[in-house]
């Protein structure tokens, strides 16, 4: 989104290094993420794109041996600062994972999970509304409205992933991180999710990690190319795919390696 | 003698394996393709060695004693002895032949003892000859039969299948046998004591049955008010309840701590330490309860103005609970750890804290396993004997006061079967009836446990 022709920067990563024990996984990553745009992170397996994604909502905290250095500013606030409240941070930054991971609960409970733990609904009615809007936004409502109280694990893979998206947007996050959200899905389910991503970017800033360059080209406005823990190049998707500056990017895009 | 023969057969087995493989290699060297790996040819021959040996050994074990007995007793069968007398004479001569007979030696016994010895030695040597020749014949036959295209893999696989099947069959048959031995004695017991009195009677006083002179005829009326099982069932569940009150919270919480909170290092040391608790023999827990916890509770109670029995249900149940902690903790730790990390990630990514994640996501997902571990703990508590015998006394009081002593089913079985018992006596049979009811109770528990687990499985997977 541009206001008066100026790019609105939502997330600003400055010199981010990530270590797993003694092994360095990310080197000096600096990347600006534009607001209300889809940013795709591409690169070969093990290049650190998922690790970078997990830095943005501090999910790397879960891994004991992982340590993150550098600054990540979201709304000009450094989330790696000690004063950052991880619970509030993750309320603002939702995440969708590679494999659909609905909780072993009903559809309704899956979606109401976030609003419940963040105390967002004062009444049952309010909660019903949140669940309904979230499912509608995730383009799942029509399919499941009659079986909200059946287990979420009973859905098909594509539906489960949309359920996870509904779960993520139920707390109205500003940013949604998607870690290869379509890699476990068939082409039809993938197309549905991609359509959804396009819709969601009106209200959310989206960062998607993907293995599929076609997908990156289809859904994103900006693209960052990672290789061996380094951000080789980033810029508008058009430029990266049509006229990259770096030879490595060129080679990866044209399928010469990776 | 049998041992030497057995060793020899095992050696023969190895040799036939070796020859089978060798023949296979030989066939291979003539550039013919084998239908199976050379080892299978070896195993095939070894099986041809084992099967006849096994069959002959079993037949021998079944029929040898009967035939020997028949041969010895046939000499005396028409001399006017009763069957019982003949049996006794036979046993006496057997004892004499082993040099363990101390009674008066009559010529009759001496003669049959000699005969017994000679028959046994004939039997032994003929067994050796028959077994060995059967093995050699069958192995030789099989050896001749194997060729490049003979099927050896399938019979070997079938044999393995049969061996494994026999093993599981043995386990099942043993269980069935135990149940049947319980059933018959239990039925005998209920012929004397009405089922109603047993299930609803409130006085358990089997010592009363001790006083009966065995020469007197059985008089069912004298057992009224003796075998009422209510107090000991109540005691059993009461003590198990106390035990679970201790074991469930502590076990679950330590399981959750180990699985979710403890660092790798703490877990590495804490888990084996907790599991050591499971390795302590129950008799040690028993005297810990009887000599340390019991008196301590008594003193504590006295200082607070309460009357506490030195052998209290509280002491026994509490220590039993400690004994069960490691089962629950270790099992629930395992099931919690096996909840997929993706669920945790999903919850954390929503901004849930650790405790919220555990309460709302991990615990429900792990519930079937946790319920299973708890029911396993309950079964242990109900079946536990030693702690109760030592710490809670043997008097079957019907009470719900944890400070008094009470007794359990298992403890009463011990009381009944300790020392000399007469078979066919209601007192002894009472033990079988108790064992049967205990079995039924744990069976029901297991069925309930399976149901619960299945129900949640369907819901959560």
Q: Which residues contact A50 (CB under 8 A, 6 or more apart)?
A: A179, A180, A209
Q: Which whole number is the average pLDDT over B161-172?
A: 95
User: Among the residues of B304-362, which ranges form H helices?
Assistant: 313-337, 341-349, 354-357
B254 pLDDT tier (thresholds 50, 70, 90): very high
Residues 353-372 of B with CB under 8 A from A: 353, 356, 360-361, 364-365
Q: Does domain A2-101+173-253 have CATH number 3.40.50.300?
A: yes
Distance CA B16, CA B321 (A): 56
SS3 sequence of chain A: CEECCEECEEEEEEEEEEEECCEEEEEEEEEEEECCCEEEEECCCCCCHHHHHHHHCCHHHHCCCEEEEEEEEECCEECCCCCCCHHHHHHHEEEECCCCCCCCCEHHHHHHHHHHHCCCCCCHHHHHHHHHHHHHHCCCHHHHHHHCCCEHHHCCHHHHHHHHHHHHHCCCCCEEEEECCCCCCCHHHHHHHHHHHHHHCCCCEEEEECCCHHHHHHHCCEEEEEECCEEEEEEEHHHHHHCCCCHHHHHHHCCCCC
Nearest in space to B237 (alpha carbons), one of B441, B431, B395: B441
**How confident is the model over B403-413, as pLDDT tens digits?**
888 888 888 88
Residue B309 covered by a domain: yes
Chain B: closest CA distance from residue A55 (Å) = 12
Q: Which whole number is the average pLDDT over A68-94?
A: 91
**Which residues in B lie closer than 8 A to residue A87 (C-beta atoms)?**
351-353
Residue B179 covered by a domain: no
Same domain assignment for residues B292 and B424 = yes
Q: Which long-range contacts (CB under 8 A, 24 or more apart) does B270-273 make?
A: B271/B330, B271/B333
A178 pLDDT tier (thresholds 50, 70, 90): very high
Of B344, B360, B459, the CB nearest to A151: B459
Same domain assignment for residues B315 and B429 = yes
- Helix (H), strand (E) at residue B421: none
- Out of B106-110, B231-235, B313-317, pick the least confident: B106-110
**Whether pLDDT at B221 is above 70:** no
Give chain A's mean pLDDT: 90
For B172-182, b/e burial (b = at least 16 CB within 10 A) is eeeeeeeeeeb
* CATH code for position B252: 1.10.3720.10
Of B342, B346, B351, the CB nearest to A91: B351
Is residue A89 less than 8 Å (CB to CB) from chain B?
Answer: yes
Instruction: Enumerate the β-bridge partners of residue A17.
Output: A69
- Judged by CB atoms closer than 8 Å, whether chains meet at B360 and A117 is answered as yes
**Which residues in B lie closer than 8 A to residue A95 (C-beta atoms)?**
345, 349
Per-residue model confidence (pLDDT) at position B103:
74
Q: Which whole number is the average pLDDT over A218-230?
A: 93
In contact, A217 and A238? CB cutoff 8 Å: no
Q: Which residues contact A53 (CB under 8 A, 6 or more apart)?
A: A41, A177, A179, A207, A209
Q: What percentage of chain A reaches a pLDDT higher than 70?
A: 97
**How confident is the model over A243-258, as pLDDT tens digits?**
999 999 998 988 876 5
Of B342, B351, B361, the CB nearest to A90: B351
User: Among the residues of B32-82, which ranges form H helices?
Assistant: 38-74
**Which residues in B lie closer than 8 A to residue A103 (C-beta atoms)?**
343, 346-347, 360-361, 365
- Judged by CB atoms closer than 8 Å, whether chains meet at B350 and A168 is answered as yes
Same domain assignment for residues B303 and B419 = yes
Q: Which whole number is the average pLDDT over B256-272?
A: 90
B247 pLDDT tier (thresholds 50, 70, 90): very high
Q: What percentage of chain B reaches a pLDDT higher than 90?
A: 23
Q: In this structure, how many other beta carbons lie within 10 angstroms of the beta carbon of residue B309? A: 23
Chain A: closest CA distance from residue B346 (Å) = 7
Residue B379 covered by a domain: yes
Give the end of a domain, one of B105, B130, B149. Answer: B149
In contact, B396 and B412? CB cutoff 8 Å: yes
**Whether pLDDT at A30 is above 60:** yes
Q: How many domains does chain B have?
A: 2
Assembly ipTM: 0.91
Q: In this structure, how many other beta carbons lie within 10 angstroms of the beta carbon of residue B59? A: 12
**Whether pLDDT at B23 is above 70:** yes
Q: Which two tokens stand for residue B348?
A: 């954390």
Same domain assignment for residues B261 and B388 = yes
**Whether pLDDT at B459 is above 60:** no
Task: For residue A106, report the phi and psi dihedrals to the nearest 5 degrees.
Answer: -75, 165
Identify the residue whose tokens are 């409970």.
A109
Per-residue model confidence (pLDDT) at position B75:
73
Chain B: closest CA distance from residue A147 (Å) = 14
Per-residue model confidence (pLDDT) at position B395:
78
- Judged by CB atoms closer than 8 Å, whether chains meet at A59 and B349 is answered as yes
Write down the pTM of the prediction: 0.77
Residues 392-421 of B with CB under 8 A from A: none
Give chain B's mean pLDDT: 85
B191 pLDDT tier (thresholds 50, 70, 90): confident
Residue B138 covered by a domain: yes
Chain A: closest CA distance from residue B354 (Å) = 10
Per-residue model confidence (pLDDT) at position B414:
86
Nearest in space to B322 (alpha carbons), one of B284, B295, B266: B284
**Whether pLDDT at B431 is above 90:** no
Domain that holds residue B411: 230-460
**How confident is the model over B116-152, as pLDDT tens digits?**
888 888 888 888 899 889 999 999 998 888 887 778 8
Same domain assignment for residues B278 and B137 = no
**Whether pLDDT at B213 is above 60:** no
Of A59, A87, A104, the CB nearest to B345: A59
- Judged by CB atoms closer than 8 Å, whether chains meet at B351 and A88 is answered as yes
**Whether pLDDT at B186 is above 60:** yes
**Which residues in B lie closer than 8 A to residue A117 (C-beta atoms)?**
350-353, 356, 360
Classify residue A28 as left (phi > 0), alpha (psi -120 to 50) or beta.
Answer: left
Instruction: Enumerate the β-bridge partners of residue A73.
Output: A12, A78
Per-residue model confidence (pLDDT) at position A3:
53
Residue B439 covered by a domain: yes
Of B352, B364, B460, the CB nearest to A117: B352
- Out of A8-17, B225-234, B452-461, pick the least confident: B452-461
- Judged by CB atoms closer than 8 Å, whether chains meet at A94 and B461 is answered as no
**Whether pLDDT at B270 is above 70:** yes
Q: What is the DSSP string of B136-164?
A: HHHHHHHHHH--TT---HHHHHHHHHHHH
Same domain assignment for residues B452 and B308 = yes
Residue B406 covered by a domain: yes
Of A86, A103, A114, the CB nearest to B343: A103
Residue B168 covered by a domain: no
Chain A: closest CA distance from residue B274 (Å) = 24
* B161 burial level (CB within 10 Å; 0-12, 13-18, 19+): exposed
Same domain assignment for residues B144 and B237 = no
Minimal-distance CA residue of chain B relative to A87: B351
Chain A: closest CA distance from residue B344 (Å) = 9
- Pairing type for strands A6-7 and A2-3 reads antiparallel
The three-class DSSP label of residue B227 is strand
**Which residues in A lie closer than 8 A to residue B356 (C-beta atoms)?**
117
In contact, B260 and B336? CB cutoff 8 Å: yes
Residues 249-288 of B with CB under 8 A from A: 263-264
- Judged by CB atoms closer than 8 Å, whether chains meet at B460 and A104 is answered as yes
Per-residue model confidence (pLDDT) at position B423:
67
Residues 161-180 of A with CB under 8 A from B: 164, 167-168, 171
Q: Which whole number is the average pLDDT over A64-93?
A: 90
A2 pLDDT tier (thresholds 50, 70, 90): low
Is residue B214 less than 8 Å (CB to CB) from chain A?
Answer: no
Whether the CA torsion B289, B290, B296, B302 is positive or negative: it is: positive
**How confident is the model over A134-173, as pLDDT tens digits?**
999 998 999 999 999 988 888 998 999 999 999 999 999 9
Per-residue model confidence (pLDDT) at position B415:
83
Distance CA B408, CA B242 (A): 13
Q: Which two tokens stand for residue B328?
A: 């629950």
Ordered by start, the domain boundaries in chain A are: 2-101+173-253
Residue B186 covered by a domain: no
Chain A: closest CA distance from residue B355 (Å) = 11
């Amino acid at each position: 989104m541009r206001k008066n022709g100026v790019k609105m920067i939502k997330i600003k990563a400055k010199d981010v290094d990530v270590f797993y024990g003694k092994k360095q996984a990310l080197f000096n990553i600096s990347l600006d993420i534009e607001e209300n745009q889809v940013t795709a992170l591409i690169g070969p397996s093990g290049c650190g794109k998922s690790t970078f994604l997990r830095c943005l909502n501090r999910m790397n905290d879960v891994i004991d041996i992982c340590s993150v250095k550098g600054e990540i500013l979201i709304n000009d606030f450094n989330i790696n600062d000690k004063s950052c409240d991880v619970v509030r941070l993750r309320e603002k930054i939702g995440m969708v994972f590679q494999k659909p991971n609905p909780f072993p609960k009903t559809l309704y409970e899956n979606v109401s999970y976030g609003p419940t733990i963040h105390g967002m609904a004062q009444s049952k009615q309010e909660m019903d509304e949140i669940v309904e809007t979230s499912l509608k936004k995730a383009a799942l409502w029509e399919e499941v409205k009659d079986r909200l109280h059946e287990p979420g694990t009973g859905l098909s893979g594509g539906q489960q992933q949309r359920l996870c998206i509904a779960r993520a947007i139920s707390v109205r996050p500003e940013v949604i991180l998607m870690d290869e959200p379509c890699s476990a899905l068939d082409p039809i389910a993938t197309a549905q999710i991609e359509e959804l991503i396009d819709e969601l970017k009106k209200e959310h800033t989206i960062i998607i990690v993907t293995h599929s360059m076609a997908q990156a080209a289809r859904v994103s406005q900006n693209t960052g190319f990672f290789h061996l823990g380094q951000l080789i190049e980033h810029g508008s998707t058009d430029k990266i795919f049509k006229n990259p500056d770096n030879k490595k990017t060129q080679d990866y895009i044209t399928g010469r390696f990776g | 003698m049998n041992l030497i023969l057995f060793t020899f057969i095992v050696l023969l087995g190895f040799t036939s394996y070796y020859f089978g493989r060798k023949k296979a290699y030989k066939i291979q060297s003539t550039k013919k393709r084998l239908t199976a790996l050379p080892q299978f040819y070896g195993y095939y021959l070894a099986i041809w060695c084992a099967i006849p040996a096994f069959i002959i050994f079993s037949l021998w074990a079944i029929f040898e004693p009967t035939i020997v007995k028949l041969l010895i007793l046939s000499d005396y069968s028409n001399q006017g002895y009763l069957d019982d007398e003949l049996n006794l004479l036979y046993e006496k001569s057997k004892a004499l032949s082993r040099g363990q007979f101390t009674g008066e030696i009559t010529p009759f016994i001496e003669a049959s003892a000699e005969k017994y010895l000679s028959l046994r030695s004939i039997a032994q040597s003929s067994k050796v000859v028959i077994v060995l020749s059967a093995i050699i014949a069958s192995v030789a036959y099989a050896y001749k039969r194997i060729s490049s295209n003979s099927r050896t893999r399938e019979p070997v696989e079938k044999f393995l299948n049969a061996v494994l099947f026999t093993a599981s069959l043995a386990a099942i048959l043993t269980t069935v046998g135990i149940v049947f031995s319980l059933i018959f004695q239990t039925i005998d017991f209920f012929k004397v004591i009405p089922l109603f009195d047993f299930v609803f009677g409130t006085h358990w006083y089997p010592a009363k049955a001790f006083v009966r002179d065995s020469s007197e005829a059985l008089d069912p009326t004298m057992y009224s008010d003796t075998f009422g099982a209510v107090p000991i069932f109540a005691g059993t569940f009461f003590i198990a309840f106390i035990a679970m009150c201790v074991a469930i919270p502590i076990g679950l919480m330590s399981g959750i701590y180990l699985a979710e909170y403890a660092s790798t290092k703490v877990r590495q040391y804490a888990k084996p330490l907790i599991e050591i608790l499971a390795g302590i023999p129950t008799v040690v827990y028993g005297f810990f309860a009887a000599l340390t916890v019991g008196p301590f509770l008594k003193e504590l109670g006295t200082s607070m103005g309460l009357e506490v029995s030195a052998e209290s249900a509280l002491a026994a149940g509490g220590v039993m609970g400690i004994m069960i902690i490691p089962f629950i903790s270790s099992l629930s730790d395992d099931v919690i750890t096996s909840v997929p990390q993706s669920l945790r990630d999903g919850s954390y990514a929503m901004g849930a804290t650790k405790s919220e994640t555990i309460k709302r996501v991990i615990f429900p997902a792990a519930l079937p396993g946790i319920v299973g571990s708890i029911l396993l703990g309950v079964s242990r508590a109900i079946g536990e004997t030693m702690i109760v015998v030592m710490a809670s006394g043997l008097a079957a009081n019907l009470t719900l006061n944890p400070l008094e002593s009470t007794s359990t089913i298992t403890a009463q079985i011990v009381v009944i079967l300790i020392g000399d018992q007469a078979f066919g006596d209601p007192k002894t049979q009472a033990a079988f009836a108790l064992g049967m009811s205990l079995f039924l109770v744990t069976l029901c528990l297991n069925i309930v446990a399976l149901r619960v687990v299945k129900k949640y499985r369907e819901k959560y997977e």
